[in-house]
Amino acid sequence: MKYAATIVLLGVVTTLTACSYGTDFVVVNQSDRALEVQYRVKDFPGAFVLPEVPATVPSSQLNAKGNQQWNKLGPERYTVDAEHRTVSIRVMPGEALLVVKMHDYAGHKDAWGAKEFPLSQLTVKGTSGEVSLTDEQTRTSFSEVSRALYTLTYK
């Protein structure tokens, strides 16, 4: 009886674990110069906190399967303006910047994802010009690479 209960329990745990996944929203710098990335976090009750500590990897190491080994940035690499709810980061050429990680994101048509996406504005400035996104554009301008990775690439 204990053996059967253990098998059932392992089956349930495996099923629940398999249903949960993370989705990274990443700005990729494919230009030959540094970018200035700034994003605004939506208003929410309570004190301001970052939805995700900004992190980077070389863009050549991005993994569409998820479980990316991000290198969290120290506070000297980014600026936070809590009053205006903005984060500003310099992204080097060939670098990918993690701005948001969501759990169980079901794609751009997902109502829950639209409601829970934490950014209301994203601006990317570089030598090829400026990309300024607001509201729904902020989320839907990221391209789906896989269920685990959405990217916005600046060339």
Q: Where are the domains of the chain?
A: 21-154
Indicate the average pLDDT of the chain.
88
* pLDDT (0 to 100) of residue 12: 42
Q: Is 3 helix (H, G, I), strand (E, B) or coil?
A: helix
- pLDDT tops 60 at residue 14: no
Range name among 15-19, 46-50, 114-118, 119-123 with the lowest pLDDT average: 15-19
pTM of the model: 0.85
What DSSP character marks residue 141? T
Please state, in angstroms and rounded to a whole number, the distance separating the CA atoms of residues 73 and 82: 18
Side-chain-side CA neighbours of 88 within 13 Å: the count stands at: 7
Please state, in angstroms and rounded to a whole number, the distance separating the CA atoms of residues 105 and 111: 10
Please state, in angstroms and rounded to a whole number, the distance separating the CA atoms of residues 39 and 87: 5
* pLDDT (0 to 100) of residue 1: 53
Which helix or strand (DSSP H or E) is residue 130 part of?
strand 129-134
CA nearest neighbour of 23 among 93, 102, 131, 123 = 102
For residue 76, give both structure tokens: 């000297």
Rounded mean pLDDT, 93-110:
94
Rounded mean pLDDT, 101-126:
93
* pLDDT (0 to 100) of residue 53: 95
The pLDDT > 90 percentage for the chain reads 73
